[in-house]
Amino acid sequence: MVVNVIGAGLAGSEAAYQLAIRGIKVKLFEQKPIKKHAAFKSDDFCELICSNSLRSDDLYNAVGLLKQEMRVLDSLVMEAADKYRVPAGKSLAVDRVGFSKYVTERIKSNPNIEIVNEEVTDIDINVPTLICAGPLCEGKLADSINRLCGNEFLHFYDAIAPIVEKDSIDFSSAYYKSRYDDENDGDYINCPLTLEEYDEFYKAIMDAQSIAVHDIDDEKYFEGCMPFEQMAKRGYKTLLFGPMKPVGLEHNGQRPFAVVQLRKDNAIDTLYNVVGFQTHLTFGSQLDVLRKIPALKNVSIVRYGVMHRNTYVNSPNVINNKYQFINYPNIFIAGQISGVEGYVESAASGLYAAINMAQYLNGEIKYELGADTMMGAMANYISDVHIKELQPMNANFGIFKCEYQGPKDNKKKYYVEHALDTVKKYKQNV
């Protein structure tokens, strides 16, 4: 039996490797160098297009836990990242050239992997296939995936705002209130600013750096999804008449000079959306600017705002929590096109999808990871049928589901220990 893996990015490279080390023959289709998108600069696999950072390596950070789960499961991407680590404080950053070359060499030297440098234009539902085409997927391949999705589940997004963890909000500076409602009787968390605080906030926006736009992302902004930094550049008061309008948000008889509102983003009340703050700032600038707001001085962003074209399937209607198409069991999908967001998350989805594919080829997917692991929580999130329209996000503890009744200070420690113990037991079975 041979599995076709389409795409040799983070998800595809990890998936091909995981299948191969389990003795499964793989045809890894990669259109580079025959056809190369403008965003790509190298012919190597696993190319990091933007940042060379894989974000926090703190074990008690959600993406740090995800990395450790991947290490437990013998991830090639993590092996390469650890080998080509460069100094970056508590983050894991890599020498991007060495990182990609190492993954490429390991893939090409594996006798179970055949590299096919050609463009895939159609998906054969009778052949076991793992689609890892990436968010820049286009042309006939995108059309073929769209048909698998029922010609309606291939989505594009062009404006989203940051999502933050509720636990990182300083409630000594924030209050609940919906506009014009009575005190402490609203659905929004309000983060007020004085005139002096707004001045500092506004200056930070003016000094902030925007993401360099590739031609693939060069789209005109719609007025309804204007990045907040673009609004700010129209004038000092523009935000005060837009997303930071304080009218109707008085607190203790006082009207703030400006207010940033946060709206609940999930049913279990752990994640909040920064209302009206669609942005095209760099991730670092987003964090710097938001931390100028007193109630967000220690904010943790779980999904950064973006303003660009990305392609992904509306996965809750299309796949199960094993990254397997509901209507086409031979076909699995992973990477950002599956609905996850971020380098590490893409690689992790490729790893988990490949293990599930291997089980499927052996007759049955007997073992799976639940939402009490970060890898399983991601798979559960993007396949949750209660989500009407998926919004991709990074790994975060807001989607993590694990019973815990102890002191709040020990919660993440318990989550991490429980998750890693669960993954180690899973590894013994698969």
**Is residue 288 classed as helix, strand or coil in its secondary structure?**
helix
**What was the pLDDT predicted at 189?**
94
Mean pLDDT of 205-225: 61
**What was the pLDDT predicted at 58?**
94
| 213 pLDDT more than 80 | no
Lowest mean pLDDT among 260-264, 307-311, 376-380, 405-409: 307-311
Instruction: For the chain, give every domain's residue range.
Output: 2-158+310-419, 163-303
* DSSP code of residue 324: B
Residue with the larger pLDDT of the pair 150 and 174: 174
Interval 327-360: pLDDT, tens: 999 999 999 899 898 899 999 999 999 999 999 9
- The answer to whether 410 touches 352, Cβ cutoff 8 Å, is no
- Across the chain, mean pLDDT equals 89
Closest CA to 198 of 260, 253, 254, 156: 260
Closest CA to 284 of 200, 395, 203, 208: 208
| 88 pLDDT more than 80 | no
| 152 pLDDT more than 70 | no
CA distance 218 to 298: 33
Residue with the larger pLDDT of the pair 89 and 295: 295
**What was the pLDDT predicted at 51?**
67
Closest CA to 384 of 392, 415, 288: 392
Interval 28-64: pLDDT, tens: 999 988 776 656 678 899 998 766 789 899 999 999 9
- The answer to whether 334 touches 346, Cβ cutoff 8 Å, is yes
Give the N- to C-terminal CA distance of the chain in Å, as an integer.
Answer: 18
| 233 pLDDT more than 60 | yes
Domains 2-158+310-419 and 163-303 belong to one CATH topology: no
**What was the pLDDT predicted at 35?**
74
- The answer to whether 257 touches 246, Cβ cutoff 8 Å, is yes
Lowest mean pLDDT among 64-73, 165-174, 315-324, 396-405: 396-405
What contacts 14, CB < 8 A, 6 or more positions away?
A: 75, 76, 77, 347, 348, 350, 351, 354
Residue with the larger pLDDT of the pair 304 and 113: 113
Residue bearing tokens 């796949």:
319
Lowest mean pLDDT among 161-170, 240-249, 389-398: 389-398
Lowest mean pLDDT among 236-245, 339-348, 375-384, 385-394: 385-394
Lowest mean pLDDT among 61-65, 104-108, 125-129, 272-276: 272-276
Helices 374-382 and 343-361: angle between axes, nearest 10 degrees:
80
Selected from 3.20.140.10, 3.50.50.60, 1.10.760.10, 3.40.50.720, the CATH number assigned to the domain covering 2-158+310-419 reads 3.50.50.60
| 223 pLDDT more than 60 | no
**What was the pLDDT predicted at 1?**
83
Mean pLDDT of 11-35: 95
The strand pair at 113-116 and 25-29 is best described as parallel
Cα diameter, the chain: 72
Mean pLDDT of 374-401: 89
**What was the pLDDT predicted at 183?**
60
| 158 pLDDT more than 60 | no
Q: How many CB atoms lie within 10 A of CB 187?
A: 11
Q: 112 phi and psi, to 5 degrees?
A: -90, 0
User: How confident is residue 298, by pLDDT bands cut at 50, 70 and 90?
Assistant: very high
What contacts 44, CB < 8 A, 6 or more positions away?
A: 97, 100, 101, 103, 104
* DSSP code of residue 337: G
Residue with the larger pLDDT of the pair 409 and 194: 194
Lowest mean pLDDT among 1-10, 179-188, 199-208, 229-238: 179-188
| 168 pLDDT more than 60 | yes
* DSSP code of residue 35: S
Selected from 3.30.450, 2.40.30, 2.40.128, 1.10.3470, the CATH number assigned to the domain covering 163-303 reads 2.40.30
| 157 pLDDT more than 80 | no
